Amino acid sequence: MTATEIPTARAIDPDKLMGFVFKAVGEVGATLNTALVVMGDQLGYYRAMADGTPTTPAELAERTGTDEHYTREWLAAQAAGEYVTYDPATGRYTLPAEQAAALTDPASPAYLPGFFQIAHGTTRDAHEVLAAARSGDGRGWHTHNADVHDGCERFFRTMYNAHLIGEWLPALEGVAAKLERGARVADVGCGHGASTVLMAQAFPRSTFVGSDYHAGSIEIARARAAEAGVGDRVTFEVAPATGFPGRDHDLITMFDCLHDLGDPVGAARQVRAALADDGTWLVVEPQAGDRVEDNLNPVGRAYYGFSTLLCTPASLSQDVGLALGTQAGPARIRDVATTAGFTRFRTAAQTPFNNVFEIRP
Ligand SMILES: C[S@@+](CC[C@H](N)C(=O)[O-])C[C@H]1O[C@@H](n2cnc3c(N)ncnc32)[C@H](O)[C@@H]1O
């Protein structure tokens, strides 16, 4: 059968068909909600409701300096999606405490706006990925709109705040002690430097060099380090992962970037060459199992979506274009490491969103 032929009629279960249609209606609502959450975040709607005071559309408009026609429709959409509650007796809407934490508190481990922001930015660029899927071309990380870069920083920083210093680094053999004493660290593919700055704040005797091929990200990372007061021990360089600066590092880190690289094996060889003999390579990747069927769950769904629209095109845009995929899984990551000459590979920690690998020569 060619792609244009219509398949022969197949028996249809009408209940299953309608079940699928209503599931799809829910998903269209959820798709639009991505933009509505970004709207609530950027216009300050959620923050204005964070104290739990029941609010009318007019009051929300007044408090945020926005137009009531928009707060009225936005609140109704949020109520239909169970982001806020609605009391028909008073015509007031309330942001529950849990939603307030997840949508307004950057210190909460459940802080979500960055996740929506990167999804919103990603779907806005999807038309170009459609063209690339026909031709087999890629689309570089640096070519995306700022919501992709800023959303990525905000989304991942939440996880690093929650786990990096207290769980992931202590899970690596001997690494936390070295960092306490004073270690040399390279953070490769560091983006806006959220992980680099966090580590520098936690380990004042250590020095850090962050690198990324995207000059715009490095400019922001430098500003973040200066704002955090760690600019004296943290430098940032524009460099590809296959040629990042420095030698004899005690720790080399890659946070959520290995699968984005065109040439992860080339980058792994560079890590091997730049690592001290007793050094550690820390690779944090999205949570995934090795088989597709291991990842057919809500987290896997989100990550396969990002993989199709963001990470796989990013890898394909570069030399080699290995396109590991966002959900590469431990076995493929281990293959990358062993091909580059590493001999020890261990899953050191896991969260519902992250696999944390300890890799050593
Ligand atoms: C998903 S982002 C993660 C950024 C950062 N590590 C974080 O956790 O917020 C992937 C990063 O890999 C960088 N990147 C992609 N290809 C690269 C390459 N060949 N060399 C260096 N960095 C690269 C991108 O510019 C981007 O900053």
CA 241 to ligand 1 center in whole angstroms: 9
Residue 189 in contact with ligand 1 by CB distance below 6 A: yes
Integer Cα distance of 66 and 83 in angstroms: 20
Q: What is the mean pLDDT of residues 173-200?
A: 98
Residue 114, classed as helix, strand or coil, is: helix
* Tokens encoding 292: 């597709």
Residue 191 in contact with ligand 1 by CB distance below 6 A: yes
Q: Token match 């700055």: residue?
A: 197
Judged against a pLDDT cut of 70, whether residue 147 lies above it is answered with yes
Integer Cα distance of 100 and 97 in angstroms: 5
Judged against a pLDDT cut of 70, whether residue 194 lies above it is answered with yes
CA 220 to ligand 1 center in whole angstroms: 13
Identify the pLDDT of residue 8: 67
Residue type, 325: G
Residue type, 296: L
Pick the CATH number of 14-103 from 3.90.950.20, 1.10.1740.10, 3.40.50.360, 1.10.10.10: 1.10.10.10
pLDDT confidence of 2, banded at 50, 70, 90? low
Q: How far is CA 94 from CA 77, 83, 125, 233, 357, in A?
A: 13, 9, 34, 45, 42
| Domain ranges for the chain | 14-103, 117-360
**CA-255 nearest atom, ligand 1:** 6
Q: If we measure between CA atoms, which residue out of 130, 319, 156 comes closest to residue 253?
A: 156
Integer Cα distance of 246 and 243 in angstroms: 9
With the most atoms of ligand 1 within 8 angstroms of its CB, the residue from 212, 253, 351 to mutate is 212
CA 101 to ligand 1 center in whole angstroms: 28
Residue type, 155: F
pLDDT digits (tens, 9 = 90+) for 261-281: 999 999 999 999 999 999 999
Integer Cα distance of 15 and 355 in angstroms: 39
Q: Give nearest CA residue, ligand 1 atom 25.
A: 214
Specify whether the CB–CB gap between 223 and 194 falls below 8 A.
no
Residue 152 in contact with ligand 1 by CB distance below 6 A: yes
pLDDT confidence of 4, banded at 50, 70, 90? low
Q: If we measure between CA atoms, which residue out of 141, 151, 158, 149 comes closest to residue 117?
A: 151
Residue 282 in contact with ligand 1 by CB distance below 6 A: no
CA 95 to ligand 1 center in whole angstroms: 35
Judged against a pLDDT cut of 80, whether residue 3 lies above it is answered with no
Q: What is the mean pLDDT of residues 134-160?
A: 97
Residue 255 in contact with ligand 1 by CB distance below 6 A: yes
Residue 353 in contact with ligand 1 by CB distance below 6 A: no
Degrees, nearest 5: CA angle 104-110-111: 35
pLDDT digits (tens, 9 = 90+) for 98-142: 999 999 999 999 999 999 999 999 999 999 999 999 999 999 999
Integer Cα distance of 210 and 58 in angstroms: 47
CA 350 to ligand 1 center in whole angstroms: 21
Q: What is the mean pLDDT of residues 147-167?
A: 97
CA 19 to ligand 1 center in whole angstroms: 40
Q: What is the mean pLDDT of residues 304-332?
A: 97
Residue 240 in contact with ligand 1 by CB distance below 6 A: yes
Across 186-210, b (16+ Cβ under 10 Å) vs e yields bbbbbbbbbbbbbbbeebeebbbbb
**CA-142 nearest atom, ligand 1:** 25
Integer Cα distance of 259 and 324 in angstroms: 5
CA 263 to ligand 1 center in whole angstroms: 12
DSSP code, position 315: H
Q: What is the mean pLDDT of residues 206-235?
A: 97
Specify whether the CB–CB gap between 188 and 267 falls below 8 A.
yes
Identify the pLDDT of residue 110: 96
Residue 261 in contact with ligand 1 by CB distance below 6 A: yes
Integer Cα distance of 355 and 349 in angstroms: 6
CA 85 to ligand 1 center in whole angstroms: 39
Q: Give nearest CA residue, ligand 1 atom 26.
A: 191
Q: What is the mean pLDDT of residues 325-335?
A: 96
DSSP code, position 96: -
Residue 241 in contact with ligand 1 by CB distance below 6 A: yes
Q: What is the mean pLDDT of residues 32-36?
A: 98
Residue 153 in contact with ligand 1 by CB distance below 6 A: yes
Judged against a pLDDT cut of 70, whether residue 156 lies above it is answered with yes
Q: How far is CA 9 from CA 6, 12, 82, in A?
A: 9, 9, 39
Judged against a pLDDT cut of 50, whether residue 1 lies above it is answered with no
Q: Give nearest CA residue, ligand 1 atom 9.
A: 153
Question: Could you write out the DSSP letters of every residue in 126-170?
Answer: HHHHHHHHHHT----GGGS-HHHHHHHHHHHHHHHHHHIIIIITT
CA 190 to ligand 1 center in whole angstroms: 6
Secondary structure element (H or E) that encloses residue 74, with its range: helix 68-80
With the most atoms of ligand 1 within 8 angstroms of its CB, the residue from 213, 254, 311 to mutate is 213
Percentage of residues of the chain with pLDDT beyond 70: 98
Would you identify the CATH topology of the domain 117-360? Rossmann fold (3.40.50)
Judged against a pLDDT cut of 60, whether residue 204 lies above it is answered with yes
Identify the pLDDT of residue 9: 81
Phi, psi of 263 (to 5 degrees): -125, 75
**CA-240 nearest atom, ligand 1:** 20
Residue 190, classed as helix, strand or coil, is: coil
Euclidean distance between the first and the last CA atom of the chain, given in angstroms as a whole number: 51
Specify whether the CB–CB gap between 77 and 36 falls below 8 A.
yes
Domains 14-103 and 117-360 share a fold: no
